[in-house]
Homo-oligomer: A and B are copies of this chain.
Amino acid sequence: MGKLFDVILLLVIVLSIALVMLESIDSLNQRYYWQFYIAEWVITFFFTIEYILRIIAINKPKKYIFSFYGIVDFLSTIPTYVSIIAGGHNMLFAIRALRLLRVFRILKITRYIGESNRLLLALRNSRAKILIFLYTVIIICIIMGTLMYLVEGEAGGFDNIPLGIYWAIVTLTTVGFGDIHPITPLGRFIASIIMVTGYGIIAVPTGIVSAEYTKYFKQPTIPTNTQVCPHCNETKHLDKAEFCHNCGSKLNE
């Protein structure tokens, strides 16, 4: 029963997100305005009932209401109701923004995937190293972006330093939109250095995560503990050891 409800809920969430997406396309919104309007209300009703049922069913409703998913559930229900009260067309955009919070709903699906936890764990372990790496990347981008602003100036589209830094990030991460690009020989030379740097240092986070992962795959090593032998003070006995491997006396007597 609970599982069936979960699957239906999931489908409604996906549908509600698809609806928000389709509504944002002007041509579709003009043609199917009423269909969207009705679907909007049906989904809002479903979410409202689900929200109320959850509060009733749970022992500690307060804990749920103020939890992350509780707030997401509430915020993904309310926009349609607000649209009646606020009514006017002027506030349409702001209401739409609230509506879009429902997108976060899809995060709920993550709950159904157990393996993702292990992935997160690996990322969490290498978090400190990745943060230092990102910090280095940002420092490089600030210095290089400032340099490009001085070298290229407004002619090449580098109107100010933040724009130069934005361009440096676009370049270092090998995205390369091409809306801003150097035109002077010196600017192009510096750009080349940034590109080769970006191409080379991508190896660092990859290396970190690879090493982190390889560790997980390693065959289990024989576990030892810190028990101390009462006779000879020998440490590092095997977990299953009952006698000291050094003097042969009984452990844990």
Q: Which of B119, B195, B249 contacts A132 (CB 8 A)?
A: B119
List the 9 shortest-distance A-B pairs measured between CB atoms, nearest first: A243-B248, A225-B225, A207-B209, A241-B245, A175-B176, A211-B213, A173-B199, A177-B178, A178-B178
Q: Does A139 lie at the interface of the complex (its beta carbon under 8 Å from any beta carbon of B)? A: yes
- Closest Cβ of chain B: how far from A141's Cβ, in Å? 8
Please tell me if the beta carbons of B221 and A195 are within 8 angstroms of each other in the complex.
no
**A211-253 contact mask (Cβ, 8 Å, vs B): 1 or 0:** 1111111010111111100000000111111111111111010
- Are B177 and A181 closer than 8 Å at their CB atoms? yes
Q: At the interface, yes or no: A150 with Cβ under 8 Å from chain B?
A: yes
Interface of A is mostly: helix
Known: A20-B146, A25-B160. 9 other contacts (CB 8 A): A116-B132, A134-B200, A163-B188, A173-B199, A174-B199, A203-B209, A204-B209, A211-B213, A238-B238
- The minimal Cβ–Cβ distance linking A75 to chain B, given in whole angstroms, is 14
Smallest CB gap from A167: residue in B: B188
Q: How many copies does the complex hold?
A: 4
Determine the chain B residues whose CB is within 8 A of the CB of A249 once the complex forms.
248
Q: How far is the CA of A25 from the CA of B185 in the complex (A)?
A: 11
Q: Contact between B208 and A203 (Cβ–Cβ < 8 Å)?
A: yes
Inside 8 A of A160's CB, which chain B residues have their CB?
Answer: 21, 24-26
Instruction: Compute how far the CA of A136 lies from the CA of B178 in the bound complex, rounded to whole angstroms.
Output: 26
**A207, B210: Cβ atoms closer than 8 Å:** yes
Tell whether A155 is near chain B: CB-to-CB under 8 Å: no
- Chain B residue numbers with a CB within 8 Å of A212 are 207, 217
Stretch at the interface among A39-47, A63-71, A76-84, A97-105: A97-105
